[in-house]
Structure 1
Amino acid sequence: METVKQTNKAPSLLQNKFLQTILLSNMLLQIGIWVRNFAILLFVAAKTNNDPYAISLISVAEFAPIFVFSFIGGTFADRWRPKRTMIWCDLLSAVSVFVVLITIHFGSWEWVYLVAFISAILSQFSQPSGMRLFKYHVPEEQLQQGMALFQSVMATFMVLGPMLGTFVYSRFGLEVSIAVMGIAFLLSAVVLLRLPKDVQEDRPPAVKGQFKQEFMEGFRYVWQSQVLRVLGLVFILAGLAVGVAQALNLFIVTERLGKSEEFLQYILMINGIAMLAGGGIVAVFAKKVPPQVLLAIGMLVGAVCTVIVGYSESVPLTLVTQFFNGLVFPCIHIGISTMILTWSHNSIVGRVNGVLNPMFIGMMVVSMSFAGVLKDAFPLTSIYAGAGVLFLLGACVLVPIMKQKAPNTAVEEQVA
């Protein structure tokens, strides 16, 4: 079916029913996620009098499932029907939210952590399924533009999400905020019903040990592809750089700029607005720039901007730098996503995503964990210079694959 889709002239990207549906679903999910994130953060901070341990458990609940379930979720996403998987994940998330909501109302407030934990687990099955559907329903030449539009939605909520989450929690409280998340996930499941019917694939009947075999196949597939191996290394370097920079942002505001902690929200807002603009710019020029070049541009500019932010004591310079950093950040996300989709066969997209994604998140969490130790041992300027070097190394390792052409998966599928 994919071969027919690619030989005919592709319709306008915004006329693509799949993309319309997936973007609307993602908007609803982002509303639920941001309202949940800020409701839990503000509630736990108030309940524990800003206890750092209690607050850090929120991040553990959100990120820990990625290590455990990303590989498993990617493998099952390749075995199950993607549309059905996404709908069931959203439905189960909604049901779990309402169950936890009842538990919180009649029992202990600590159950609030379970909302983030269960949602994070289910997302490890839903997200790679969405990547598979991108591969099925968006023509190869429009993949990068499609990812740019997807990134623009994410960037929009990076600007609006904190304000929306804070408003809902401040006005209505924890229980209504969590209920909003449940309703948003429920509506997302309804919207996903508009997706085209899952393509029937001929798969051999399940046999003992097949899951383990398919699980390991994802690692072998990544290792045997030079492009995906390099991408894994980029994930590791970018994760280390992003983690330490994010963890110490607050000290840039208080120590380098001499501002109060509240000023951080303006930096994040400017960064989010720039990301939104950057996603739109990439969407316009996506067809003309190979994804590995796009990724290298993002890493190089990220390197320069990170070093400047670390050394700057000027508020205007820092804000302008953060704007440029946000402007090119979509290049990293869109470049990586497009490369995963382009260099992965339809049958293994979920597993490739499941192998690579934890590399970034894992290294980010590791560097965030050591950020405090680094802060005690080194000045901020040195730490941010080190993060800039990591970005630069990430750009350099892309050089050997810069001229590689994407494999013709349509031909592969036809031969298969």
Structure 2
Amino acid sequence: MDTLTPTPPRSLWRQHDFRLLVGGRLISQLGDQLQFLALPLLVVALTGSSTQAGVVLGLQTAAQLVFGLAAGALVDRWNRKATMIWCEIGRGLLTATIPVAAAAGALGMPQLYAVAVLGGALSTLFQAANSSALPNIVGRSDLPAALAAMGVMSNALRIVGASVAGIAYALGRLVPFAFNAVSFLASAAALRAVRAGFQAERATTAAPRALVADIGHGLSWLWRKPVIRTLALLDAGDSLRFGAGYLLIIMLAQGLHANPTQVGVVFTGAGVGALLGSLLAPTLTRRFALGKLSITMLWVEALAFPFYALAPTWWLLLVVAFAESVVSPIYNVALDSYRLAVTPDAVRGRVTSAIDTLTGGAAALGTMASGAAVALIGAPTLTFVLAGWLACLAIVATLSRTVRAATATD
């Protein structure tokens, strides 16, 4: 039996379990922000090679993509709460090996490669369990507010995280890793204190299937749901553009003679826009249908994106980044609320992981292709190509009956 029956509305922040879940996640994400900056800097300090730094970061992404589908099937089989706790403990111990090995004078690249791969696999397993468990902790009626609150905190960390990470690294290049190791253990303790169940009761009469069969069952369920399937494919197309956009904006800003601090301010503007979108998301999600939000987001992105290439100064580039970043969190809250609510608990891990793998793979492909594309046709031209791509996605969404008819009550 699923646990998504409507419950009387109440303040999320008065819910003991939600506060614990959010508090643990906030500490853990701050640690991740610190390590995200410190890891490539540490690799460069050890090897003098930016290529090696890129390989380490690439291994984390590769582990997430390779392990994504299996992670979803596993969290649908296992106890999600126990899985999340052990993932946090495992990530904490892995991260702690870095300062310990450095103190012993034994830190080398093989260890950092292993930490990247194993940490990426544990992160993928944790995220699949976390997303699948949320509806059981807060209930269907509170999903939009819960997702928006998490988005607000993530975007707030995105704004201040780089500065905090820089300060932590300046205190000592191993300080971010020590902090992150402790943050994982704090997150595990918070999860341990959550009282709500992380999954619905499961029938135990069915014979166990092979992992591949479980994955296939989840993909089959996803394919039979036209709204989720269509929006997932559109999201993958949008993620392709998003992955290419990071390097593209850097190159456009440098073309406007922006210094590194000013480039950082441009991305801070994007973070502020996303924060505003997260704050607006609960109200707009209740007021507008999911299909309308999807179509609106794609058209706003398509119409705003060319202005990246047309902006004559770096601070106008900031304005574009701010404006374009507002709409995506609103739509994401509406889409994730819908998907989590209508997906049965027994297959939620597999469906969530399949979509995350699809969109994450598209973003990674965009990131990898963006460097070659900028070198081949130039940043301004690539901007207009990506704007055209977004316009095509918007047209497809507008013409799709499935998208136009999508509502939160489907």
- One-letter amino acid matched to 2:404: M
Q: Which amino acid aligns with 1:262?
A: T
Contact 1:36-1:177 at 8 Å conserved across structures: yes
For the 8 Å contact 1:240–1:367, the answer to whether it is kept is yes
What secondary structure does 1:58 align onto? helix
Distance in 1, Cα, partners of 2:172 & 2:20: 30
Q: Tell me the secondary structure at the aligned position of residue 259 of structure 1.
A: coil
Answer with 199-208 or 340-349: which moved more.
199-208
CA distance in 1, matches of 2:200, 2:143: 22
Q: Please say which of residues 357-366 and 105-114 is displaced more in the overlay.
A: 105-114
Residue by residue over 1:93-142, the C-alpha shift from the partner in whole angstroms, topping out at 9 and shown as x without a partner, is 11222234333433133223433332221121111211222221323232
Alignment of 1:211-290 (within 5 A): 211-255=211-255, 257-290=256-289
Q: Are 2:108 and 1:109 equivalent residues in the alignment?
A: yes
Is the 8 Å Cα contact of residues 73 and 215 (structure 2) preserved in structure 1?
Answer: yes
Equivalences for 1:160-175 in 2 at 5 Å?
160-174=160-174
1:54-93 C-alpha deviation (Å, 9 max, x unpaired): 1211321221111111101111111112222111111111
Separation (CA, whole Å) in 1 of partners of 2:137 and 2:193: 13
Moved more, 237-246 or 38-47: 38-47
TM-score by length of structure 2 reads 0.91
Contact 2:63 2:117 in 1 (8 A): yes
Distance 1:52 1:177 in 2: 20
Q: How far did 1:315 drift?
A: 2.8
What is the CA–CA distance in structure 1 between the aligned matches of 2:115 and 2:322, rounded to whole Å? Answer: 33
- Give secondary structure in 2 for the equivalent of 1:272: helix
Tell me the number of residue pairs that the alignment of Structure 1 and Structure 2 aligns. 404
Amino acid at match of 1:67: L
Letter in 1 for 2:284: F
1:170 Cα deviation from its structure 2 partner: 0.8
- 1:396 aligns with 395
Give, as a single letter, the amino acid of the residue that structure 2 aligns with 1:261. Answer: P
Which structure 2 segments of 5+ residues have no match? none
Q: Give the whole-Å Cα distance in 2 for the aligned partners of 1:213 and 1:372.
A: 38
Q: 1:413 maps to what in 2?
A: none
Change (3 A) 1:53 1:208: same
2:25 equivalent in structure 1:
26
Residue equivalent to 2:93: 95
Taking a change above 3 Å as real, the CA distance of residues 329 and 138 of structure 1, as seen in their structure-2 partners, is same
Amino acid at match of 1:283: P
Percent of aligned pairs with the same amino acid: 19
| Structure 2 partner of 1:333 | 332
Q: Which residue of 2 aligns with 1:369?
A: 368
Say if 1:75 and 1:351, in contact at 8 Å, map to a contact too: yes
Taking structure 1 as reference, are residues 196 and 296 closer, same or farther at Cα in structure 2, changes over 3 Å only?
farther
In structure 2, distance between residues paired with 1:346 and 1:108: 43
- Tell me: CA distance 1:2–1:10, structure 2 relative to 1, closer, same or farther (3 Å): farther
| Partner secondary structure for residue 20 of structure 1 | helix
Equivalent position SS for 1:10: coil
Which deviates more from structure 2 when the two are superposed, residues 226-235 or residues 27-36? 226-235
Aligned residue number for residue 82 of structure 2: 84
Q: Give the 3 Å change call, closer, same or farther, for CA 328–241 of structure 1 in structure 2.
A: same
Once the two structures are TM-superposed, the CA of residue 180 in structure 1 deviates from its matched residue by: 0.7
Q: Is residue 2:322 matched to residue 1:323?
A: yes
Aligned partner of 1:45 in structure 2 is 44
Task: Give the AA of the match of 2:26.
Answer: M
Pairwise CA distance, 1:9 = 1.7
Inter-partner Cα distance in structure 1 for 2:250 and 2:407: 42
AA aligned opposite 1:119 = G
Q: Following TM superposition, by how much is the alpha carbon of 1:212 offset from its aligned partner in structure 2, in angstroms?
A: 2.3
- In 2 relative to 1, CA 67–3 (structure 1 residues): closer, same or farther, beyond 3 Å? closer
Code of the residue aligned with 1:124 in structure 2: it is T
1:196 partner SS: coil
Which residue identity does 2:50 align to in structure 1?
P
Say which SS state the counterpart of residue 193 (structure 2) adopts: coil
Give, in angstroms, the shift of residue 217 of structure 1: 0.7
What amino acid does structure 1 have at the position aligned with 2:64?
I
SS at match of 1:398: helix
Aligned to 1:144: 144
TM-score between both structures, scaled by the size of structure 1: 0.90
Q: Distance in 1 between matches of 2:165 and 2:304?
A: 29
From the superposition, tell whether residues 165 and 117 of structure 1 become closer, same or farther in structure 2 (CA, over 3 Å): farther
Aligned to 1:126: 126
User: How far apart are the structure 2 equivalents of 1:208 and 1:12?
Assistant: 40
Q: Distance in 2 between matches of 1:3 and 1:99?
A: 40
Change (3 A) 1:348 1:2: closer
Q: Considering only aligned residues, what root-mean-square deviation do their CA atoms show, in Å?
A: 2.2
